Amino acid sequence: MPNLSSRLVTATRRGAPTGVPFRALRHIPILLTGIGALALISALSLALGARSVPLSTVADALFGDAGGRDALVVTGLRLPRTVIGLAVGAALGVAGAVAQGITRNPLASPTTLGINAGAGFAVVVAIFALKLNDPVEYVWFAFAGAAGAALLAQSLARRAGDIDPVRLALGGTVLQLVLLSWTSAVMLLNQRTLDEARFWLAGSLSGRTLATLWPVLPWLLLGLVVALAVSPALNALALGDDSAQALGVPVARIRLAGGIAVVLLAGSAVAVAGPIAFIGLAAPHLVRPLLGGDHRLLVPGCLIAGPLLLLSADVLGRLVIRPSELEVGIVTAFLGAPLLALLARKVAR
Amino acid sequence: MTSAALFARTTSSARIRLRRRVLLCASCGLVALFALLSVALTTGEMGMPAGTALRALVGLGDPGDVLVVQQFRAPRAFAAIVAGAGLGVAGCVLQRLFRNPLASPDVMGVTGGASLGAVSLIAAGASQTLIPVGALAGGLLSALLLGVFAWRSGVAVTRLVLTGLAVQAGLAAAVNLLIVRFPAELAGSALQWTTGSVYGRTWTEVWGAGGAMVAALAVTLVLHRRLAVLDLGDDSAGALGLSTSAARLQLLFVAVVLASLAAALAGPVTFVALAVPHIVRFLTGPPTAVSLALAGLTGAVLLLASDLVVQHLLPVEGLPVGAVTATLGAPWLLVLMFRQSKPVHRSHA
């Protein structure tokens, strides 16, 4: 793995660590293109689905000029879904970038830190024990489970000492395996739990109302603010703990703040949409070749790339087996697995 | 070759001590296996003394006893023994092959492939007897995928592990898709399969998988010399005239066959393959061909004991054995990671 970390380090050096002028201007065209693509995919997300609506009708419906069934579909179902997709995607993308920054590990992501599995286990236990049956009621259990698993995984990773991507990935995966098998065991205990939980566990944006988003939105925004605040310091962290210390960066405090940001962001994402894999892993890898390794650009870049990826997957899931639809969590896992295989080829020469 | 070099260096008294220790462990393991087997045959809703149970096993005594023992208890116990032995040896081979204490069929994608094979056959409405065949085929298919993705002028260890994670993720997504799409009662039996259970095995399955397992174990013991040479590191092994990539592929294939056979019999039981090599190393020190056999014995004891816990000690009915092995395996894993992390230099952050 040495060539990997050194490549990351050189990338950051080129992108200037702390104290070197911040040249964002060069990247403005790329950022604008990203925002344009995001607007386009949001429009498509409003227009496409089991019942496709022309874009002009979408515009009319949004501004309240149109009535009828099409307008109702757009404002009642697709608008909340798109808004939730934007929020969840942004949270996952930024969480991925920060997780990879604080662990200095290109394979770190909310999923490999066990966050999704922890949330899944907590929700299934809640469904079993408290007989819940509405995604709005799962929110806080998912959040708590995600936080618990993330804290456990991060304490393990920190004890593992310096960067070893393979060990962290394997360790997180095994933690996930434990939680997943407990989840299955609880689901097998009664039929009702199985029936309720399997749909939530697939990870989906459909059938969520904005009422699911509001309670976690403050936490999500807080996470975003913390992530943006620590992003300059992540550049110094990429040089290694000792060098960062020498540059006067409070390494432990930055890592703690970054960890809190990851938990807040990924926890709120999973609470709203259920476990969705690979967005957090893929977004930073998509942005890095375009904007470079400077975290001051990488984190905002992921803020755009995350929702772009999530909404694209969601729209794709709606189109492949029309008039039915694939859960977005399943689409991202199918698309993400080859990506991980490609990364593995690149990382381990 | 290596064992000769090793033995030349060790004094004869140390060698004798080691051999005595292995013998002691092996006889303890056999006694434990026999004791667990008699517990498995005698306990249940209809208790009977051990002598009666053993007579009933060979077809003597009360026809009711014979029915219970021969048709229900014995196949289940022997299925656990065969599957446990396969998992133990497979885990041993994989961990030495990858020089990684966390490598196991669980993270290599083999169990994911077996789950997918079994679940697709459940989806296709195939009869109960065909499902193990599906699991076997799925496990082998995942190994093929792994080979295709990871092959690039040789098989590098890191790439293989990371690709295994990717394959596992993709296959898990496919299983998840089927479980979400199933009607509720099929989803339950599919979930039961993917967590690992030896409930309701028949003699046909036990004999079929058991025969194949014995053959695969024999091949593993024959290939053990190559494994021992690979332990020296790629450069030394190459200098000794071993084609490292070919040897690694052969061993990988055998390990995958062992794990797939186990999965065909017991489903993808987690953590047995992970924990057994560590137990054996702790008990007998440096790996030899005998300790490989001991790994099989330990795996059998572990899985049979876990299955007895599921059947008789837990208050809830119908739990899969995989949930127990995962619960026992989790603290084990934590201990492992903590112990491993000690020598690593930790920065004074």
Q: Looking at the partner chain, which of B184, B271, B349 has a beta carbon nearest the beta carbon of A194?
A: B184
Q: Do A337 and B173 touch (CB under 8 A)?
A: yes
pLDDT interval class at A14 (50, 70, 90): very low
Tell me whether residue B213 is in a domain: yes
Q: Do B107 and A107 touch (CB under 8 A)?
A: no
Tell me whether residue B347 is in a domain: no
Comparing A66 with A241, which gets the higher pLDDT?
A: A241
In the structure encoding, which two tokens stand for residue A334, read together?
A: 């199918």
Residues 156-195, chain A: which have Cβ within 8 Å of B? 156, 159-162, 166-167, 169-171, 173-175, 177-178, 181-182, 184-185, 187-189, 191, 194-195
Contact A163, A1 (CB under 8 A): yes
Residues A255-268, mean pLDDT to the nearest whole number: 88
Q: Please tell me the total count of domains within chain A.
A: 1
In chain B, residues with a C-beta closer than 8 Å to the C-beta of A198 are 179-180, 187
User: B306, B328, B337: which to substitute to probe chain A, counting the most A Cβ within 10 Å?
Assistant: B337
Q: Do A194 and B188 touch (CB under 8 A)?
A: yes
> For B70-85, what is the HEC assignment?
HHHHHHHHHHHHHHHH
If you average pLDDT over each of A248-262, A265-279, B103-117, which comes out highest? A265-279
Count of pairs with CB atoms under 8 A, one residue in A, one in B: 172
Cβ neighbours, 10 Å, residue A80:
18
Residues 30-89, chain B: which have Cβ within 8 Å of A? none
User: A102, A104, A174, A206: which to substitute to probe chain B, counting the most B Cβ within 10 Å?
Assistant: A174
Tell me whether residue B214 is in a domain: yes
In chain B, residues with a C-beta closer than 8 Å to the C-beta of A345 are 149, 152, 159, 163
Chain B nearest CA to A140, separation (Å): 23
Q: Please tell me the total count of domains within chain B.
A: 1
Structural domain range at position B183: 102-268
Residues 82-121, chain A: which have Cβ within 8 Å of B? 107
Q: Residue B101: CB partners within 8 Å, gap ≥ 6? A: B95, B277, B278, B336, B340
User: Which of B198, B165, B200, B269 is CA-nearest to residue A184?
Assistant: B269
User: B197, B338, B341: which to substitute to probe chain A, counting the most A Cβ within 10 Å?
Assistant: B341
Tell me whether residue B17 is in a domain: no
Q: Do B322 and A1 touch (CB under 8 A)?
A: no
Tell me whether residue B11 is in a domain: no
Q: Do B330 and A169 touch (CB under 8 A)?
A: no
Q: Do B158 and A1 touch (CB under 8 A)?
A: yes
Comparing A168 with B317, which gets the higher pLDDT?
A: B317
Radius of gyration of chain B (CA): 21
In chain A, residues with a C-beta closer than 8 Å to the C-beta of B270 are 177-178, 181
pLDDT interval class at A12 (50, 70, 90): very low
Listed as ranges, residues in chain B with pLDDT below 70 are 1-12, 102, 151-158, 330, 333-349
pLDDT of residue A2: 41
Tell me whether residue B284 is in a domain: no
Q: Residue B188: CB partners within 8 Å, gap ≥ 6? A: A188, A191, A194
CATH code where residue B203 lies = 1.10.3470.10
pLDDT of residue A10: 42
Cα distances from A127 to residues A208, A272, A311, in angstroms, run 17, 16, 28
Tell me whether residue B58 is in a domain: no
pLDDT of residue B106: 76
Residues 153-172, chain B: which have Cβ within 8 Å of A? 156, 158-159, 161-163, 165-170, 172
Structural domain range at position A21: 2-347
Q: Looking at the partner chain, which of B173, B191, B349 has a beta carbon nearest the beta carbon of A251?
A: B349
Percentage above 90 pLDDT, chain A = 24
Contact B163, B149 (CB under 8 A): yes
CATH code where residue A282 lies = 1.10.3470.10
Give exposure, A278-308, as e/b (b: 16+ Cβ within 10 Å).
bbbbbbbbbbbeebbbbbbbbbbbbbbbbbb
Q: Looking at the partner chain, which of A169, A278, A327 has a beta carbon nearest the beta carbon of B162?
A: A169
Residues A169-197, mean pLDDT to the nearest whole number: 79
Residue A17 has pLDDT above 60, yes or no: no
Q: Residue A38: CB partners within 8 Å, gap ≥ 6? A: A86, A304, A307, A308, A311
Distance CA A138, CA A132 (A): 8
Residue in chain B lying closest to A188 (CA): B188
Percentage above 70 pLDDT, chain A = 87
Tell me whether residue B285 is in a domain: no
Global pTM reads 0.79
Q: Do B191 and A348 touch (CB under 8 A)?
A: no
One-letter amino acid identity for A219? W
